[in-house]
Each structure stands twice: as structure tokens, then as C-alpha cells.
Chains A and B, each alone.
Chain A
Amino acid sequence: MTLLGIAWRNIRQRLLTSGLTALSLALGVALVVATLVTGRLVNRAFESGSGLGYNMIVGAKGSPLQLVLNSVYLISKPIENVSWAFYQEFLPADRRPDGVAGKYAASTQTAVPICMGDYFRGHRVVGTNAAFFGRLTRGDGRPFEFASGGNFEDEDFFGGVLGAAVAANLGLKVGDSFAPTHGADDGAVHDPFKVVGILARTDTPIDRGVFVNMEGFYLQDGHAKPLAEGETPASAPPRQSGHAPLPFNQREVTAILLETASLPGLPAELTAMGLRTAINEGRDGQAALPVAEIRQLLDLFVRPLELLLLLVTALVVLVSAIGILVSMVGSSLERSRDVAIMRALGARRSHVLATVLIEAVLLAVGGGLAGWLLGHLLVGAIGPWITTNAGVTASVFSAAPLAEALLVPFLVVLAIVAALLPAIAAYRTDVAKWLQGPG
């Protein structure tokens, strides 16, 4: 019988104590694994969202981080709106009614407007145009793909596209209708839109969005900007859809997603910096760089918070390791007799020391692996919630490979340290005292 076999029998002999010790260790490890994996998922969600085919967001003056969180991640509240005229400053001559290129058109490759403020059963409704899915990319540079149907046409005023998570959660399919509500889920119900496309999963916040044609969005109650006294509606060009579009001077946009161009003789980065400075110095709005804002957010809040959580969970594991120590010290009386018997049978002190350490390692490995599995099951169980709220796929198979790979060796070292005291006690067991009375 090997020392491993003897250690295993010892565990089996104290099944209840050993089981409870391993269980407490498993719960600690499960927490650590769940924290590691969800932390990595959240990081990935932010990192993936920082490259959706545009490098600048223009919106109302206020917090640039709020602008980014609202526009890219569909969380937080919109700051305010900017005027349609300001949006038009980014458009080339052929897309403007006056036929004159906008002030910032030369520095702009693509400008996609978004309008926010409506909801559909807990999901953000984003009014935009067909360029959102036609010109922007899904974060990894690949164009958007549709699981069914396709993009809405600019002329289809009441066409809508659903993110993959929305369609899955609400059970909607192409051809179904949905009516957004104004301002909140319990707000006034707007006219229905028709689902024309459902996006393939992108593992980004896009999965949680409901995207509608902004022309239909503008026609809903409360979406037209009141005219100033004496102002007359500026007629928009007639459209094929049969609906009369909202006049331009009654329109606003929440944000403009910009892909900046390179000015002749200037590198793209410098063009972007120049454009940003020019916008920020003006009075109409602000320009924010999503990558920079997200990096700042991660560095300032997400990573320290993640670290704090990890510290707390590491403490839980430490307490569990102390549990190993307590359990082994608690059974040391019983163990002393067994150790004395083994020593009388010829076991060396090194044998009994090794047996106790192996026992602790077995508990650590058993509890650690069970906890690792439990942690992944936990992530799998809260996966749908993470997917809905963070826009990333979280499943049993989501992993933080490096940190997880280090976890069990770390536990083994911790268990050995915790078991040293009872192991030394076993090493020093007085054989004669435990086997016989005075004789």
C-alpha cells in the first residue's frame, strides 16, 4: 500500500470532516473562479466595444465617459441631444440639402447618427439609419451578419433590426411587430415597427440593442423638437415611403458615431486629434474617443474593483485553507494513535509527515477541482444575465485560462503550508505513549 493509498484511507476514515473541509474549499474556489471569469468577460466586453468601426463619438457637452457608455454600451443615460444642423456639419455636399459640404466633412469618413430615449421591454431602442449596419463593423473589424432577414432600408420608415440577445430573450422573429415605449418601459406606447432582420451574435453590447429606422423614430409622439416662436417647419425632401418625414429643424440626434478620415498630408491620428479639438472648442457639442475613455474607465474603476473582488475571494480561499488546518488539528488526537500504530509497524517519521501532507494535498486538489467545476457551473447559471447586461456570451465554457491554471497549484501550496503544523505534530508523535501504558 502506497503513502497515497494510506492518505486516501485516512480521508475516507474521517469522511464527514474531510468532506466538509473539501466543500468549504470548493465554495471558496468556486467564488474565485466565478470572479475571475466574469471579470475577464466584463473586460472583454469593454475592450471589444472600443472598436466598432468608429473612432470618435460626438454628442452634447457633458461627461465624455457618459457619452461613450450610452452610445457604445447602451448603458447609462443620454446626456442631451445635439441639433440636426450640427450633425449635418459632418456630411459631404451630396448628402446635404444646400449642396455645400459641412464644416467637418473633410475630416469625416463616415458619420452615423443615433437617437435614443425609447425602450422595448427592458432593451434600449436606438434610432439610426441603414449606414449603422452597412458601414460600421461589429468590433473585430468584420461586417455585421444577420442570423435572419437583413438590414432595414432608409425608405422603410418602420423597419427594425434586433440584436441576437433581444430576439432570443423576447422570442421575436423576422416579420413580427414591436411597439417601443417613450422614455421608459412604462412610458407612452409608440407606433409598431416591423422586424426585418435579426443580427447574428456579436458578443458585444449590440446584441442587447433594438435598432429602428430613425425616420420612423422621429415620427413618434414627443420626438419632434418644438419650434421656436415664429419658426416654420423646414420641409424635408419627399420620400418614397409615403410617410412625410419630420422637418429638419425639428430633428435632434443623441450622438454621432464618426469614422474620421485623413486630411491630405496629415496622418489619420492627427486629423482625429485636430477634429476633436475643433469640436470641443466649439459650443455645439463634444467629441470623445471611446478607446481612451474605456481605457480610463478600466484603469480607474473596473480593474481596481476586480482586484478588490479577487482579494475578497482569495481571503475566502485562505479561510478555507485554514479550515484544512483546523480539521486536521481537530482530528490530531485520533491521528496520533494511528500514527503511533504505523510507526510501531516500522513507518519512518518521514512517512507519517508525508502521509499528512499528501492528505492535505488530496483535499486541496479534490476541493479545488470541485470548486473549479462549481465556479464554471455558476458562471453558466448566471450566463444569461451576464449576456443580457454586459452583451458578452457567458457560459460554462467561459474561462480565464492563465489565472485558473494557477489556482490549483496555489491551493496545493496553501494546503501544504496549512498542513505543516499537524504534519509536524504527527512527525513528533510519541509512539510508546500512544501504544502502551507504563509497564
Chain B
Amino acid sequence: MSNLVIELRGVRKAFVSPGGEIVPVLDVDGFALEAAEQCALEGQSGSGKSTLLNVISGIMRPDAGSVFVGGRDIARFDEASRDRVRADTLGLVFQQFNLLPGFTALENVLVAMSFGSGRPDRRRAAELLDAVGLAHRLDHRPAELSVGQQQRVAVARALANRPRAVLADEPTASIDKAHQEQVIDLLRETCREQGAALLVVTHSSEVASIFPRRLRLEDFNRAARNAPRPA
């Protein structure tokens, strides 16, 4: 049985520019992430980092190729089925944390549980928040938390449904340099504890250097090699 949590084969994705021109964003022959593996994916702006994560998480469907998540090719699934796979198999951490502002820290974790196949479990939600050092902030709303604390809630939320992999899109971009390492350590440690693989997309080589496996998106995404470099 394959030990791969995520595997991409011959994935292509292009967008149509406002001028009507077709702009290729992804052209990946192969990429794979093993169970419990921790990997950093470096890439410049416009290299297709976010699109890659959207395709892996099923938010977007590729124009061609296969996207295996937990052994199932979600590129063949309809949207509702991709949503279900995302809820049950993957955890997402965003650059802007993307917490729901009207919900407390505990509720933000519980909301993620609501869309998975399991039942919302307050005890597990509280335990996850405890694991990221927020046991005393369960009933605080995002506006009442510091930036670092908000990112901790986002990490706890990503792990709510016992995912097989956590995808993090520039998780340190909104955090000052002094705290970047703390956040990455937290992500790595928590994923290790929960047995989840971790794929961090970043443009920072400092962050990428912490990871045992480090890839440059331009090395395996042909579309990124041809993309114009930002000034």
C-alpha cells in the first residue's frame, strides 16, 4: 500500500487573463508527500504556490492530470466530494490566518469539525488549543488575541479533524521575524504529535531551511520557469 498522502501526476492549470490570453500557472509532472513527512516549498510571487495548494486541497480542479489525496484522485471528484475530502483529510493554515471574527477561539476550531464526517468534539477542540498554549483563551474572539495567538488558533483549527496532511500557505508572512521560527516550530511539533504530514509554502529561504525536505517550486513547475519575474 502506498505511503503517500499527496501525489500529483501530470497536473496542469491555466487561467485566462483579462485580455483573453491563456496563462499557464501549473505544469507539474510529479510531486508527492509521504505520510508524516515535513516539506517546505519555496517559490517567488507568481510561481503558482497558492494555485498548487488550491489544487491539492480541491478548492480548484486542475485542467489536466491527477491529484491523489489519501489515495483518491480528487481531480475526478465533483465539488461536493472534493469538499468532503478536504474536510476529512486536510488541514489548512493561511497567510492571513482567516479566523472567523464572530467566533471564539474554541468555536473557530469547532466550526472546522462541523464540516468533517465526525461530530464536533468540544473536548478535543479544547485539547488542541491547550496544545498550542491557548487553554486560557478559549472564549476570546480573534480581535481579542495577538497576531501570534491568532496563528496558534489557526494551527489548532487545521488539526481539528485529525487530517493526514496540513497545508500551510505563507504561515509566517504576517509575523515578525522574531516569532517566525516559533510558529514554524509549533506547526512542525503539533503535526508530528498528531501524525500529520506538513507542506509549508513560503517565499522565505530562512523558513524553508528549517525543514528536512526543501523544494523550489520553479524546479518542478515548468509554468513557473517561464513566468515573468517580479521586479
Q: CB-defined interface of A391-421 with B at 8 Å, one 1/0 digit per residue? A: 0000000000000000000000000000000
Which candidate, B31-39, B114-122, B190-198, is the interface stretch facing chain A? B114-122
A347 contacts B83, C-beta separation under 8 Å: yes
Q: Is A106 an interface residue (CB 8 A)?
A: no
A1 contacts B114, C-beta separation under 8 Å: yes
Q: Is A265 an interface residue (CB 8 A)?
A: no
Q: Is B112 an interface residue (CB 8 A)?
A: yes
A348 contacts B115, C-beta separation under 8 Å: yes
Q: Which residue of B lies closest to A15 (CB)?
A: B102
Bound complex: CA of A13 vs CA of B51, how far in Å? 31
A9 contacts B103, C-beta separation under 8 Å: yes
Q: Is A345 an interface residue (CB 8 A)?
A: yes
Which candidate, B52-60, B69-77, B132-140, B208-216, is the interface stretch facing chain A? B52-60
Q: Is A2 an interface residue (CB 8 A)?
A: yes
Question: With a CB–CB cut-off of 8 A, which chain A residues contact B83?
Answer: 343, 346-349
**B95 is contacted by which of A13, A436, A438 (Cβ under 8 Å)?**
A436
Q: Is B64 an interface residue (CB 8 A)?
A: no
Indicate whether A346 sits within 8 Å of B101 (C-beta atoms), given known contacts A351-B115, A439-B50. Answer: no
Q: Is B188 an interface residue (CB 8 A)?
A: no
Bound complex: CA of A351 vs CA of B112, how far in Å? 13
A1 contacts B101, C-beta separation under 8 Å: no
A432 contacts B59, C-beta separation under 8 Å: yes
A432 contacts B94, C-beta separation under 8 Å: no
Bound complex: CA of A3 vs CA of B111, how far in Å? 9
User: In chain A, residues 10-40, which have Cβ atoms closer than 8 Å to a Cβ of chain B?
Assistant: 10, 12-14
A1 contacts B107, C-beta separation under 8 Å: yes
- For the complex formed, measure the closest distance between the CB of A344 and the CB atoms of chain B, giving whole angstroms: 6
Which bucket holds chain A's interface residue count?
20 to 34
User: In chain A, residues 291-350, which have Cβ atoms closer than 8 Å to a Cβ of chain B?
Assistant: 337-338, 340-350
Indicate whether A346 sits within 8 Å of B112 (C-beta atoms), given known contacts A9-B102, A341-B98, A432-B59. Answer: yes
Tell me which of A14, A431, A432, A439 has the highest count of chain B C-beta atoms within 10 A of its own C-beta: A439
Question: With a CB–CB cut-off of 8 A, which chain A residues contact B87?
Answer: 345-347
Bound complex: CA of A340 vs CA of B57, how far in Å? 13
- For the complex formed, measure the closest distance between the CB of A358 and the CB atoms of chain B, giving whole angstroms: 13
- For the complex formed, measure the closest distance between the CB of A288 and the CB atoms of chain B, giving whole angstroms: 67
Q: Is A381 an interface residue (CB 8 A)?
A: no
Bound complex: CA of A436 vs CA of B59, how far in Å? 12
Question: With a CB–CB cut-off of 8 A, which chain B residues contact A6?
Answer: 111, 114
- For the complex formed, measure the closest distance between the CB of B164 and the CB atoms of chain A, giving whole angstroms: 14
Which candidate, B1-9, B40-48, B179-187, is the interface stretch facing chain A? B40-48
B92 contacts A436, C-beta separation under 8 Å: no
A432 contacts B54, C-beta separation under 8 Å: yes
A342 contacts B48, C-beta separation under 8 Å: no
Indicate whether A345 sits within 8 Å of B59 (C-beta atoms), given known contacts A1-B110, A436-B54, A437-B50. Answer: no
Q: Is B157 an interface residue (CB 8 A)?
A: yes
A2 contacts B102, C-beta separation under 8 Å: no
**B101 is contacted by which of A13, A436, A438 (Cβ under 8 Å)?**
A13
A346 contacts B95, C-beta separation under 8 Å: no
Which bucket holds chain B's interface residue count?
35 or more
Q: CB-defined interface of B153-177 with A at 8 Å, one 1/0 digit per residue? A: 0000100010000000100000000
Q: Is A435 an interface residue (CB 8 A)?
A: yes
Question: With a CB–CB cut-off of 8 A, which chain B residues contact A14?
Answer: 102
User: In chain A, residues 172-186, which have Cβ atoms closer than 8 Å to a Cβ of chain B?
Assistant: none
- For the complex formed, measure the closest distance between the CB of A175 and the CB atoms of chain B, giving whole angstroms: 68
Bound complex: CA of A1 vs CA of B161, how far in Å? 13
Question: With a CB–CB cut-off of 8 A, which chain B residues contact A340?
Answer: 98
- For the complex formed, measure the closest distance between the CB of B128 and the CB atoms of chain A, giving whole angstroms: 14
B92 contacts A345, C-beta separation under 8 Å: yes
Q: Which residue of B lies closest to A2 (CB)?
A: B114
Question: With a CB–CB cut-off of 8 A, which chain A residues contact B80?
Answer: 348-350
A431 contacts B59, C-beta separation under 8 Å: yes
Tell me which of A2, A14, A349, A432 has the highest count of chain B C-beta atoms within 10 A of its own C-beta: A432
Q: Is B84 an interface residue (CB 8 A)?
A: yes
Indicate whether A439 sits within 8 Å of B51 (C-beta atoms), given known contacts A1-B113, A347-B115, A349-B80. Answer: yes
Q: Which residue of A lies closest to B201 (CB)?
A: A439
Bound complex: CA of A325 vs CA of B88, how far in Å? 34
Bound complex: CA of A436 vs CA of B86, how far in Å? 17
- For the complex formed, measure the closest distance between the CB of B158 and the CB atoms of chain A, giving whole angstroms: 9
Bound complex: CA of A431 vs CA of B59, how far in Å? 7
Q: CB-defined interface of A425-439 with B at 8 Å, one 1/0 digit per residue? A: 000000110011111
User: In chain A, residues 214-262, which have Cβ atoms closer than 8 Å to a Cβ of chain B?
Assistant: none
Question: With a CB–CB cut-off of 8 A, which chain B residues contact A351?
Answer: 115
Bound complex: CA of A435 vs CA of B170, how far in Å? 12
Q: Which residue of A lies closest to B113 (CB)?
A: A1
Indicate whether A439 sits within 8 Å of B48 (C-beta atoms), given known contacts A344-B57, A346-B116. Answer: yes
- For the complex formed, measure the closest distance between the CB of B29 and the CB atoms of chain A, giving whole angstroms: 20
**A345 is contacted by which of B50, B79, B115, B169 (Cβ under 8 Å)?**
B115
Indicate whether A349 sits within 8 Å of B79 (C-beta atoms), given known contacts A12-B102, A13-B101. Answer: yes
Bound complex: CA of A217 vs CA of B114, how far in Å? 81
User: In chain B, residues 84-106, which have Cβ atoms closer than 8 Å to a Cβ of chain A?
Assistant: 84, 86-88, 92, 94-95, 98-103
Q: List 6 A-B contacts (CB under 8 A).
A: A1-B120, A341-B98, A345-B86, A346-B83, A436-B95, A438-B46
With A344-B57, A345-B112, A436-B94 known, 9 other A-B pairs at CB within 8 A are A6-B114, A338-B102, A341-B99, A345-B86, A345-B87, A346-B88, A351-B115, A436-B50, A439-B47
A residues with CB within 8 A of B: 1-3, 6, 9-10, 12-14, 337-338, 340-351, 431-432, 435-439
